[in-house]
Copies of this chain bind each other. A is one copy, B any other.
């Protein structure tokens, strides 16, 4: 998502970020079925029509790639080289997961729910369908849905059609696309995308910690006009309304601060209301821009007390780098 699209509360179709591990699979939604199995009393097989006739929920959710900010780390971990554009807020439409699990009937000892996609490839030398699990209590949250619609339209192929999981607050790897099965487990899932990938590690020997919820982040609409190559921004001296959006998977964003000197000093921005519990909050800051060179930064702090650091916390795979954005601005 180019950052000027932060103007939109709901990211327009085609601007929401995409991270596709393998290929966008070729799925016929008419013959596609979702299987619900594992440690359940009544395994289910559901068609898209079955899912559409169940209770419907529509909710805006901000989703960010766990690798957002990776290309700003030095040395740069080799994977998708995101700067800061791997985010978006869509209005997802689907049906809650919990009633489906309840209908299937969890057997005693169930502890995890595994979501398996149709997308298949090789990662870390292992051939696999893309799959990730969630702890049972997380999967049973009211706001975890199986989505078949986005921004009022049928889910697009690249966003996981016919069905994907939406787990508000978590980084994007959790929202498994092209879902083909849900499996109830009684032990931790140790597949590649859970036990190897998406762990915050300092080196190859480090067992690491799982990457889960989105750390707080604020981004601003780059002011003025850009230089094509450097992307430095040029602003005419005047009153300039800086605006942006901020989010966190650990609690509501309570404060957004603005720095014009690369993080040496900070002033409070005015924070608005989010369109929904799990969507980004808008913020504004009225800047009397005088001629000179500036490095504009913003940082968010959430209700849990988590905030953004000025420097990048390096890690082996380049996950969850929520260091503050730095926008070089020349006021003329």
Chain A residues near B (Cβ < 8 Å) = 2, 4-5, 7, 12-16, 18, 20-24, 26, 78-79, 120-124, 127, 156-159, 222, 225-229, 234
Asked whether B123 lies within 8 Å of A228 as measured between CB atoms, the reply is: yes
Across the interface, A122 reaches (CB within 8 A) one of B120, B121, B227, namely B227
Q: Which residue of B lies closest to A21 (CB)?
A: B228
Asked whether B5 lies within 8 Å of A225 as measured between CB atoms, the reply is: no
B-side contacts of A7, CB under 8 Å: 26
- C-alpha gap A110/B135 in the complex (Å): 70
User: What's the number of copies of this chain in the assembled complex?
Assistant: 2
Smallest beta-carbon distance A222→chain B, Å: 7
Q: Which residue of B lies closest to A1 (CB)?
A: B158
Asked whether A22 lies within 8 Å of B226 as measured between CB atoms, the reply is: yes
B-side contacts of A13, CB under 8 Å: 13-14, 156
B-side contacts of A227, CB under 8 Å: 121-123
Asked whether A225 lies within 8 Å of B12 as measured between CB atoms, the reply is: no
Q: Which residue of B lies closest to A120 (CB)?
A: B225
Asked whether B121 lies within 8 Å of A228 as measured between CB atoms, the reply is: yes
Asked whether A158 lies within 8 Å of B24 as measured between CB atoms, the reply is: no
- C-alpha gap A4/B159 in the complex (Å): 14
Across the interface, A23 reaches (CB within 8 A) one of B4, B14, B78, B157, namely B4
Interface of A is mostly: loop
Smallest beta-carbon distance A13→chain B, Å: 5
Q: Contacts A12-B157, A14-B156, A158-B14 hold; do A22 and B225 have CB atoms under 8 A apart? A: yes
- C-alpha gap A22/B4 in the complex (Å): 10
Asked whether B2 lies within 8 Å of A234 as measured between CB atoms, the reply is: no
Smallest beta-carbon distance A120→chain B, Å: 5
Q: Which residue of B lies closest to A119 (CB)?
A: B225
Q: Which residue of B lies closest to A192 (CB)?
A: B228
Asked whether B23 lies within 8 Å of A225 as measured between CB atoms, the reply is: yes
- C-alpha gap A158/B234 in the complex (Å): 21
B-side contacts of A16, CB under 8 Å: 14
Across the interface, A226 reaches (CB within 8 A) one of B2, B14, B122, B156, namely B122
Q: Contacts A121-B225, A121-B228, A234-B122 hold; do A26 and B12 have CB atoms under 8 A apart? A: no
Asked whether B22 lies within 8 Å of A5 as measured between CB atoms, the reply is: no
Smallest beta-carbon distance A23→chain B, Å: 4
Asked whether A2 lies within 8 Å of B22 as measured between CB atoms, the reply is: no
- C-alpha gap A127/B235 in the complex (Å): 12
Given contacts A2-B20, A122-B226, 10 further A-B pairs with CB under 8 A are A14-B16, A14-B158, A15-B157, A21-B228, A23-B222, A121-B228, A122-B227, A122-B228, A124-B228, A127-B234
Q: Which residue of B lies closest to A7 (CB)?
A: B26
B-side contacts of A157, CB under 8 Å: 5, 12, 15
